[in-house]
Amino acid sequence: MTQDRSPLTRRLELLAKLTEQELAYLQELEAGSVHFEQGTEIFYEGQSSDNAYIVQHGWGCSFKLLPTGDRQIIAIVLPGDCVDLRCALHQATDYTFLAITDLIASRIKGLRIERLFNEFPHLGVAMLLATAQDDEMVVEHLVSLGRRSAIERLAHHFLELHDRLTIAGLATGTAFDCPLTQYDLADTLGLSAIHVNRMLRELREQKMMTFADHRVDLLDIGRMQELTGYVGRNHTSIIVRGDNAHSR
């Protein structure tokens, strides 16, 4: 069974064929897991640190603070995500990593990452691919902030969360648990919490989705996709070719 595989292992196996040896090393990398309480700043902007983290359980986020006190959330972090994999290489973090819920993560020293590339380059490339996916998400997020309206940003964000949680086995059907507050959503989407509230009401009245009691239900995914131009995530492996993607 796959229960004993970590979330990251499952992700990587979708991206590349890994040998027993590589799997063993990956397991060793993820061995020691640390528990962080809800609200913990696991590392923070300006800290000199060479640790990276692989999230095993719980929700987190990375964000930056502006001199004005405003907060901009860069990304919501879910199980199977790597945080700071590259920043760990140069020993300085430029954002804060916060545990939104209680969170369990494996801590990895920067040096081991360098060793990883030396000893298991193929595994290293697979992890690069995973971070490339994460980067694509950041880019899509940037597009949202630059060119989408408030309601479009919200719809897009929930479609994406739904996709990621489904892949991680944390969502079934159209609904999922979501610990984010409306303030978190506001700081993610570059809006005020008040406007987030109004747009969530709009989405509810339009019967597209509901957001209540830490639970999200996507009632009409089709219309939400239409609204945002969202193209679902490619669930296939790296050997993608031809006519399945990019229909528009």
Residue 74 interacts with its own copies (CB under 8 A): yes or no: yes
Token digits of residue 205? 């009245």
Residue 78 interacts with DNA (CB under 7 A): yes or no: no
Residue 90 interacts with its own copies (CB under 8 A): yes or no: yes
In the complex with DNA, the residue whose CB is nearer, 46 or 179, is: 179
Residue 112 touches which of its own copies, DNA, none (CB < 5 to 8 A by kind)?
none
C-alpha 147 chain-centroid distance: 21
Query: How far is it, in rounded angstroms, from Cα 82 to Cα 130?
Result: 8
Segment near DNA (CB under 7 A); pick from 22-30, 109-117, 159-167, 182-190: 182-190
Count residues binding its own copies (CB under 8 A).
Answer: 52
Q: Single out the residue of 102, 114, 163, 220 in contact with its own copies (rule: CB under 8 A).
A: 114
Asked if 191 and 153 count as a contact pair (C-beta separation under 8 A), the reply is: yes
Of residues 39-58, those binding DNA (CB under 7 A): none
Query: How far is it, in rounded angstroms, from Cα 94 to Cα 19?
Result: 35
Residue 182 touches which of DNA, its own copies, none (CB < 5 to 8 A by kind)?
DNA
R_g of the chain computed on alpha carbons: 18
Query: How far is it, in rounded angstroms, from Cα 103 to Cα 79?
Result: 9
Query: How far is it, in rounded angstroms, from Cα 142 to Cα 139?
Result: 5
Asked if 54 and 9 count as a contact pair (C-beta separation under 8 A), the reply is: no
Question: How many C-beta neighbours within 10 Å does residue 148 have?
Answer: 19
Residue 79's closest CA among 95, 101, 49? 101
Query: How far is it, in rounded angstroms, from Cα 189 to Cα 74?
Result: 9
Per-position b or e across 5-28, b if 16+ CB within 10 A of its CB: ebbbbebbbbbbebeeebeebbee
Binding mask 202-231 for DNA (x = CB under 7 A): ----------x-------------------
Beta bridge partners of 108: 52
Binding mask 143-172 for its own copies (x = CB under 8 A): x-xxxx------------------------
Q: Single out the residue of 115, 190, 217, 233 in contact with DNA (rule: CB under 7 A).
A: 190
Q: Single out the residue of 19, 131, 149, 236 in contact with DNA (rule: CB under 7 A).
A: 149
Count residues binding DNA (CB under 7 A).
Answer: 18
Q: Which residues bind its own copies (CB under 8 A)?
A: 15, 45-46, 48, 64, 66-68, 70-72, 74, 86-87, 89-92, 94-95, 114, 117-118, 121-122, 124-125, 128-129, 131-132, 135-136, 138-139, 141-143, 145-148, 189-190, 229, 238, 240-242, 245-246, 248
Q: Which residues bind DNA (CB under 7 A)?
A: 149-151, 181-183, 190-195, 197-201, 212
